[in-house]
Amino acid sequence: MLHRLKSFLRGNPYKRPRLTPWQPPARGENAGPPFEVTSIEMIDASPHIAGAHLDYPVAGYQGAEHQLEIGGWVFGGQFPATEVVLYDHQGIEILRTPCSIRRYDGAGKVSNAVEQNGGFWLPMSIVANQCELRYTLVAILGNGAHIPFANLVIKANTLCEYQSAIAPLLLTSLGRTGSTWVIGLLARHPQIIAIDPQHFDPRVATYWSGIIAGLAQPQSYMQMTTPGAMHSRGWWLGSPLSFKSNPPQDALLNYLHGTGVESIADFGLRQIEGLYQHLRSSQGRDAPRYYVEKFVPRIERLTLRNLCPGAREVVLVRDPRDVICSALAFNKKRGYQSFGREAVQSDEEYVRWFKGSVESLANLLDSSARPVHLLRYEEIVRSPREGLRGLCRFLELDGSDATIDYILKERSEEVLKDHRTTATPAESIGRWETDFTPAMRTAAREALDPLLLKLGYPATA
């Protein structure tokens, strides 16, 4: 690896990743490579970026194991590039690395580049089963600007063959959208199981998906052979890797990047399955088709979706202006600030700040490979029967009148009253019309209106 580093620093692009291209494994000629890089697109980001180049990977590369190395250079125009961040196409950050490698060849190819270190190296694991992954590389400049400069499309094949007998049902939403109420309804379906969602806020799948997402990356498991600061807590989670002059033997690397990653994913999925199978047995339930949990638009949700082809996802949305009103009222009810309000100085600023949260949710609707079901809070409040029937159709579950009647028969009013900030759910719809100040309306028009239309809500009057 040392000679590769010297070549990299001299500016001779590394023509192929370290791992040898995929060859049919001994287990059978029909098994495909763990992943394939299907396309790479460089984005013209001038004048913010003076120039950028990817040395590797190249389009058509087939990985022998689950590790993918991304390396190259990016030079800013007026401001230097300080970091490179890899984002999922839905805006979720995957990994980041500093631009800390001197690349003289890159600086020589762009006439208006500021003096800087532009080289970067980002090793990552492809933690996914049978799906298409779309990533964007973004340069963070010295002035804080985030500038996309490359898109990558990767086809992931089988990572681990273990498939849960109880599939994940993700209820993805923001806070104050009625998620506690909706997940309580879903959990009453005979074919859906949950851990008492109205008394607790269980995140079993989020917990284990986060562990998989962390431990399956080279930045973590390479600490076994080339540890960093072992005196710090959580050192085994790792930090951005650098080129090493004394790497482990190739046979060991191939195990860590291959079987090691597969074992981490397999272990995490089995832990989730084991807990819900225990819950099913303790409750005397017949074989349920799904377990349901709340999720937020972060890497844990993405990891579970990418690993479980049988997963289903319901994206619960509510008029963002009503969500803001509900959050402000709930903060007042509890006597302290939360839901992001603690990060800003005024309610008007909070409306603008909230744009990022709404964007993260709206991006989830762009999921053609693994579709999601859009459920609006207003629809489930006004027409719960129709809303539940639509959910049952999406999940391919029994949606008969008898089942819907059973789901709606009991409402945990004593539990839900602690969550409410209006006398009834119906009164919470459209409350922003009276609660918003003129300044908040102006902020909503400027920051939220384009997203409102995407989610199916009218613009701010």
Would the CA dihedral through 156, 162, 166, 171 be positive or negative? negative
Instruction: Give pLDDT, residue 368.
Output: 64
4's tokens: 């590769």
Q: For residue 396, is it left (φ>0), alpha (ψ between -120 and 50) or beta? A: left
Q: Is the pTM of this model over 0.75?
A: yes
Q: Is residue 266 part of a domain?
A: yes
| 324 CB neighbour count, 10 Å cutoff | 29
Would the CA dihedral through 439, 345, 178, 306 be positive or negative? positive
Residues 85 and 180 in one domain: no
For residue 99, the domain's CATH number is 2.60.40.10
CA 5 distance to own-chain centroid? 32
Angle (CA) 302 313 194, round 5°: 100
190 by DSSP, 3-state: which? coil
Residues 128 and 186 in one domain: no
Q: Give the domain-ending residue among 366, 385, 410.
A: 410
Q: For residue 28, is it left (φ>0), alpha (ψ between -120 and 50) or beta? A: left
Q: Is residue 302 part of a domain?
A: yes
DSSP codes of every residue in 30-94: T---SEEEEEEEE---TTTEEEEEEEE--TT-EESSSEEEEEEEEEESSS-EEEEEEEETTS-EE
Residues 116 and 180 in one domain: no
Q: Give the domain-ending residue among 156, 176, 211.
A: 156
94's tokens: 């995957």
| Domain count along the chain | 2
Residue range of the domain that includes 78: 2-156
Instruction: Say if residues 290 and 167 touch (Cβ distance below 8 Å).
Output: yes
Angle (CA) 316 313 413, round 5°: 45
Q: What is the pLDDT along the chain (461 residues), one digit of tens a residue?
A: 444 444 444 444 434 344 445 454 444 444 689 999 999 999 999 999 999 999 999 999 999 999 999 999 999 989 999 999 999 999 999 999 999 888 877 766 776 667 678 999 999 999 999 999 999 999 999 999 999 999 999 999 999 888 889 999 999 999 999 999 999 999 999 999 999 877 778 999 999 999 999 999 999 998 888 787 788 888 888 876 765 545 677 888 889 999 999 999 999 999 999 999 999 999 888 889 999 999 999 999 999 999 999 999 999 999 999 999 999 999 999 999 999 999 999 999 999 999 999 999 999 987 666 789 999 999 999 999 999 999 999 999 999 999 999 999 866 555 566 677 887 888 899 999 999 999 999 999 999 999 999 999 999 98
433's tokens: 């019309």
First to last CA, the chain: 62
Q: Give the domain-ending residue among 105, 137, 156.
A: 156
Quote the CA–CA distance of 54 and 71 in Å, as a whole number.
6
Indicate the helix (H) or strand (E) that contains 313: strand 312-317
Instruction: Say if residues 375 and 179 touch (Cβ distance below 8 Å).
Output: no
Residues 294 and 202 in one domain: yes
Residue at token pair 């004593």: 414
Find residue 29's DSSP bridge partners.
none
Residues 193 and 291 in one domain: yes
Residues 208 and 306 in one domain: yes
